[in-house]
Structure 1
Amino acid sequence: MNFGWTLVIQAGVTAAAVLSVVAVFWFAVVKPHLDRKVEEIIKASREIEPAVKRGVRQGVEETLRELPESTAKESTRQFLRFGSNLFENGLSSFLGDVPGQGRKPPG
């Protein structure tokens, strides 16, 4: 019986030692490293949106500067005409006739 308890105690002490070494390594090395990486990712993500907005704005401004004025006016007119038709047709598909609404039920 004495030998059995010695094995149980030895297994418990070994498990406690391994867990304590792993816990110290986690809290002293891994967790601070992960925290730094997460902060870098958060900082980079906060910088992305303004950079994209600036890039899009700059690209649109450069494109409009390169277009001749008559082209911009004509394409704007076409776009407005197309956009209004699309808007009206889109709303009528949501608010207009439902297919089969005018049909009489069989009977």
Structure 2
Amino acid sequence: WAAETGARPGAYDEQGPVFIHADPCAGPSRGRGGYPFSRAGALRTVRRYSAEGHIVGGRLLEIPEDEEQGFDAAFDEAFADPRVALVHVRAVEYGCFHFEVRRRDTA
């Protein structure tokens, strides 16, 4: 993202995620629908970034039974702030990056 847009996130610049499989695979399952790495009860951070790559806030999300509705509400809240260009969704436990959502007009 930073390389694509010219953002200078400083210490927050990351490359990845990188997944390596020992054997060939077909890739992620597309049949489930919804958001990746989503499981009711799991904890995620929804970290907000500006177009310059600076963190401008975030929140903790305990994924509800209606997983899509929970994520959609968190993204609506994030993008209500005009400074937010994108969000990263991460696992709380180790900070592992799960996926990114970009504001429609900056994608």
The bucket for the TM-score relative to the shorter chain is under 0.3
Higher Cα Rg: structure 1 or 2?
A: 1
Q: Which has the higher contact order (CA 8 A, sep 6+)?
A: 2
Q: TM-score, normalised by structure 1?
A: 0.21
Structure that is richer in strand per residue: 2
TM-score by length of 2: 0.21
Tell me which protein shows more helix as a share of its residues. 1
